[in-house]
A and B are shown apart, each in its own frame.
Chain A
Amino acid sequence: MNELPTKSYLNDPKGLKSWLLTLDHKRIGLLYLFSIMAAFALGGIFAMLIRLELLSPGKDFMEADTYNQLFTLHGAIMIFLFIIPSIPAILGNFALPLMIGAKDVAFPRLNLASWYIYILGSAFAVYSMVAGAADTGWTFYTPYSTETTTSVISMTLGAFILGFSSIFTGLNFIVTIHKLRSPGMSWFKMPLFVWGLYATAIIQVLATPVLGITLLLLIIERVAGIGIFDPAMGGDPVLYQHFFWFYSHPAVYIMILPGMGIISELISVFSNKKIFGYKAIAFSSLGIAFVSFLVWGHHMFVSGQSELAAMIFSFLTFFVGIPSGIKVFNWVTTMYRGSISLKTPMLYALSFLFLFTIGGLTGIFLGALSVDVHLHDTYFIVAHFHYVMMGGTVMAFLGGVHYWWPKIWGRMYSELWARISVALIFVGFNVTFFSQFILGSQGMPRRYYNYLDQYQPLHAFSTYGSWILGLGFVIMAVYLVHSLFKGRVAGSNPWGALTFEWTTASPPPHENFATIPETTHGPYDFDKIVPKRTLTED
């Protein structure tokens, strides 16, 4: 029977102070884990309340203004506090140096600073909730956001500050990946999760400043009354939309690219199979990162932008879809002639394949100009981005959490309960959101507190789905916490993976590796090497 190592990054050194001032990337990853999970829980509770209010038309238990604040908070928290930092800041921080055989990230102090900045930004966001939460939607469109009396400033300031945290993490990762790879690890021997983080970091560094500027301009307009976006003061509201989406479209890829990286790891490891099309997957990440800067106008097809602009944006939008499609085909092909194990992380990877494919394909509807005119700002959009963000990024994130969990803590969670939970989440998700595709194409506009009777059955259906989904997450919280104390000891390599993080102890020592590992084989060479497993199959 395995034993946990007596000394690991978790217990050496001890004490609260050693955690709050830690420069260890693994501990910083955990600080992020706890804070980001708190944000996720909050955003999730708001989501449940929104769905509950929408159970029937008219007022169920809250006023229109409260509802408007809730969907704004749900969106802002989930985007800025949860999903953007989730994979890079938690799993990236924990796994990136381990995966490239490094002792830490390039700038450990900057890494800790980025966590404190995250906390500061979140504090502003939380403050804005108590001080009359913003009711603008997470997009803060002008001139509504300049006119509303709610606390737009503290919320935007929060998002502005959070942007710096994101930039710092991105910067740190870029330098780490360039400089700290272990001897022999050429670019094409890097695990694909590292490629995903690299492409993401480029977008984080290049696009986030634009969001910062935009939000700052908005704040200046509100505080100093200088007309930038508000037509009443001589500004241009559509300019705001251009600025906003110039960041927020690439941000979609900040959310999905690292998720795609995780999926590449999971599918290869749990199929015990060399990844198909390594270079295609790596380059398509970079391709997506590049083209994603040039498609923002697809959020504005009915805003009055010129036909020429609409045409160009529609065209480019389709082209950002191709690399994603290529990845999906590569993942499916990877499973061919593998040895496929249906452990929980793989179930998440398969859910991702299913849901992300739907999310991606429904994007084709929205890229087509004439069809988008009908679907824009309806529930179809809501369903589409939940399939991409939750069906894509969150499924990948959860897959990653379950995959690296034994490495992080040295212990396994209950496989049975984990499977029950993933089943509930999968079913609940589809019940909640597939119905919204139909609602939307039938004309139901988004951000509606009240709705016409004809939409009621599907709204009710969607709300029932949210209960199943919620139950799945509650179960997950329980078995994950339980595993910390009672979980079976995992050993260094429970899944039989070939990347570096599985060569060191679980949980790893403070300095990651006793000796810096050398790259002798590719990350997915399952055709040549039989990994040593520390857990037997059951």
Chain B
Amino acid sequence: MDTTGTIFLPPGQSTISGEVDALFNFILFASILLFLLVVILSGYFVFRYRRRTVPGTTYGKDHNVKLEIAWTVIPTILIIIVFIWGFRTFLKMRVVPKDAIEIKVTGQKWFWSFDYPEGVNTVNELVVPVDKPVKLLMSSKDVIHSFFVPNFRIKMDVLPNRYSITWFEATSAGEYNLFCTEFCGTGHSEMIGRVKVVSEKEYGEWLEATAIPAEGISPVEYGARLYQSKACITCHSVDGSLNTGPTFYKKFGEQEMMADGSSVKVDENYLRESILNPNARVVAGYAPVMPTYQGILKDREIDALIAFIKSLKEDTTANDE
């Protein structure tokens, strides 16, 4: 949360940047000490024991148990501290707060696009409210990209055919750079976006102004339409009633028994797999009759369907992912 920055680090503007920077600075400090130890000692020895005449025999002691224990144990303690410290912050980076706004991020040669729950879609500009956690559900349309905002100290690879998730909470309004950090071809270095952090009020106004009513329907509404137009409705109910396939009602986030006896948590990746490759894992008690939608549904449509299935849970239970 330190916003000043140092010669090494750009100003940190997210809730976790303070922790990352503290560890960075701790390692920096310890490294400088160790480095000086090595350099000053070597420099001193070179100066003090430099060769003046043709040497005869020299001092022959070649071990010293106390010294050797010291230079093994002290660094070991240091790195254990660093390891635990780094891991704890890393876990925070990975656990998304419950009340986060969810934005879909799509990486593609060579731009970023963002889909908001309100149906707004932007390219290369991610607008978010300050002091609110934002969850990014990311996937790529082609090769691997990586989503990196230096000021927030977050980075996550964006993969084709799979969702990756990261989140952040910006602590001060402003504009920040968004880089692609996984090499993706000719325009890799042009794949730069901006993250605009605004006040909650401005965010609401921006959403309203940007959402174009006609085509700008929300992913959930879009998904609801697809549910009918792509015939999911013929096999899946949304009210819990039984049909050829399992109901979507209260499905998301549940634990589900599979025909082979394993159990699966219904999350975005599982839903996607079920739609594109339904027979990979068949739900217990059902016949493997669902058609594959590979090549029929576009990524955005799958995203919308998933959003729709997720929404069928929200009315009744609290969001607890």
Q: How far is the CB of B17 from chain A (nearest CB, A)?
A: 9
Within B104-162, which residues are at the interface with A (CB < 8 Å)?
Answer: 142-144, 146, 148, 150-151, 153-157, 159-162
In the complex, A332→B68 CA distance in Å? 12
Q: How far is the CB of B51 from chain A (nearest CB, A)?
A: 4
Identify which of B7-15, B237-245, B247-255, B281-289 touches chain A: B7-15
What are the interface flags for B6-30 relative to A under an 8 Å C-beta threshold, 1 for contact and 0 otherwise? 0111100000100110011001101
Instruction: Select B27's contact among A272, A336, A368, A448, beta carbons within 8 Å.
Output: A368
Q: How far is the CB of A194 from chain B (nearest CB, A)?
A: 18
What are the interface flags for B164-206 relative to A under an 8 Å C-beta threshold, 1 for contact and 0 otherwise? 1000000000000101111111111110100000000000000
In the complex, A276→B187 CA distance in Å? 53
- On chain B, the residues within 8 Å of A529 by CB distance are 57
Q: Indicate whether A131 reaches chain B with its CB closer than 8 angstroms.
A: no
Given contacts A377-B155, A438-B7, contact A322 B76 (CB under 8 A): yes
Q: How far is the CB of B85 from chain A (nearest CB, A)?
A: 7
Given contacts A362-B31, A376-B181, contact A368 B23 (CB under 8 A): yes
- On chain B, the residues within 8 Å of A280 by CB distance are 63, 68
- Whether A340 pairs with B45 at a CB distance below 8 angstroms is yes
Instruction: Select A338's contact among B34, B39, B45, beta carbons within 8 Å.
Output: B45
- Whether B156 pairs with A302 at a CB distance below 8 angstroms is yes
Given contacts A136-B183, A368-B82, A368-B83, contact A147 B143 (CB under 8 A): yes
- On chain B, the residues within 8 Å of A369 by CB distance are 86-87, 89-90
Instruction: Select A304's contact among B55, B148, B156, beta carbons within 8 Å.
Output: B156
Interface size of A by Cβ–Cβ distance < 8 Å? 94
- Whether B186 pairs with A65 at a CB distance below 8 angstroms is yes
Q: Indicate whether A373 reaches chain B with its CB closer than 8 angstroms.
A: yes
In the complex, A304→B56 CA distance in Å? 60
Q: How far is the CB of B149 from chain A (nearest CB, A)?
A: 9
What are the interface flags for A253-274 relative to B under an 8 Å C-beta threshold, 1 for contact and 0 otherwise? 0000000000000000001111
- Whether B42 pairs with A339 at a CB distance below 8 angstroms is no
Instruction: Select A373's contact among B58, B75, B90, beta carbons within 8 Å.
Output: B90
Interface size of B by Cβ–Cβ distance < 8 Å? 84
In the complex, A534→B45 CA distance in Å? 26
- Whether A527 pairs with B58 at a CB distance below 8 angstroms is yes
Within A122-171, which residues are at the interface with B (CB < 8 Å)?
Answer: 135-137, 141, 143-144, 147-148
- Whether B60 pairs with A528 at a CB distance below 8 angstroms is yes
- Whether B71 pairs with A326 at a CB distance below 8 angstroms is yes
What are the interface flags for A370-389 relative to B under an 8 Å C-beta threshold, 1 for contact and 0 otherwise? 11111011100000000000
Q: Indicate whether A38 reaches chain B with its CB closer than 8 angstroms.
A: no
- Whether B45 pairs with A443 at a CB distance below 8 angstroms is no
- Whether B57 pairs with A365 at a CB distance below 8 angstroms is no
In the complex, A325→B180 CA distance in Å? 34
In the complex, A231→B277 CA distance in Å? 13
In the complex, A136→B188 CA distance in Å? 11
CB closest chain-A residue, reference B80: A318
In the complex, A317→B150 CA distance in Å? 24
Q: Indicate whether B260 reaches chain A with its CB closer than 8 angstroms.
A: no
CB closest chain-B residue, reference A451: B189
- On chain B, the residues within 8 Å of A367 by CB distance are 79, 82-83, 86
- Whether B63 pairs with A276 at a CB distance below 8 angstroms is yes
Q: How far is the CB of A453 from chain B (nearest CB, A)?
A: 12
- On chain A, the residues within 8 Å of B161 by CB distance are 231-232
Q: How far is the CB of A171 from chain B (nearest CB, A)?
A: 33
- Whether A353 pairs with B38 at a CB distance below 8 angstroms is yes
- Whether B179 pairs with A272 at a CB distance below 8 angstroms is no
- Whether B86 pairs with A442 at a CB distance below 8 angstroms is no
- On chain B, the residues within 8 Å of A326 by CB distance are 68, 71-72
- Whether A373 pairs with B46 at a CB distance below 8 angstroms is no
In the complex, A370→B143 CA distance in Å? 25
Q: Indicate whether A333 reaches chain B with its CB closer than 8 angstroms.
A: yes
- Whether B58 pairs with A443 at a CB distance below 8 angstroms is no
Q: Indicate whether A76 reaches chain B with its CB closer than 8 angstroms.
A: no
Q: Indicate whether B214 reaches chain A with its CB closer than 8 angstroms.
A: no
- Whether B159 pairs with A361 at a CB distance below 8 angstroms is no
- Whether B55 pairs with A339 at a CB distance below 8 angstroms is yes
- Whether B93 pairs with A373 at a CB distance below 8 angstroms is yes
In the complex, A332→B186 CA distance in Å? 47
Q: Indicate whether A342 reaches chain B with its CB closer than 8 angstroms.
A: yes
- Whether A452 pairs with B68 at a CB distance below 8 angstroms is no
- Whether B90 pairs with A272 at a CB distance below 8 angstroms is no
In the complex, A527→B58 CA distance in Å? 5
CB closest chain-A residue, reference B45: A335
Q: How far is the CB of A465 from chain B (nearest CB, A)?
A: 18
CB closest chain-A residue, reference B56: A530
Given contacts A357-B35, A358-B35, contact A533 B54 (CB under 8 A): yes
Subset of 9 A-B contacts with CB under 8 Å: A143-B160, A274-B60, A277-B62, A280-B63, A302-B146, A338-B59, A339-B50, A452-B177, A527-B57
Task: Using CB atoms and an 8 Å cutoff, list the residues of chain B in contact with chain A.
Answer: 7-10, 16, 19-20, 23-24, 27-28, 30-31, 34-35, 38-39, 41-42, 45-46, 49-51, 54-60, 62-64, 67-68, 71-72, 75-76, 79-80, 82-83, 85-91, 93-94, 142-144, 146, 148, 150-151, 153-157, 159-162, 164, 177, 179-190, 192
Which 7 interchain pairs have the tightest Cβ spacing? Answer: A527-B60, A443-B150, A368-B86, A370-B89, A369-B90, A339-B55, A231-B161
Q: A301-B90, A340-B49, A374-B153 are in contact. List 11 more A-B contacts (CB 8 A).
A: A278-B62, A311-B87, A333-B64, A338-B59, A369-B86, A370-B90, A371-B24, A377-B146, A447-B188, A527-B60, A536-B54
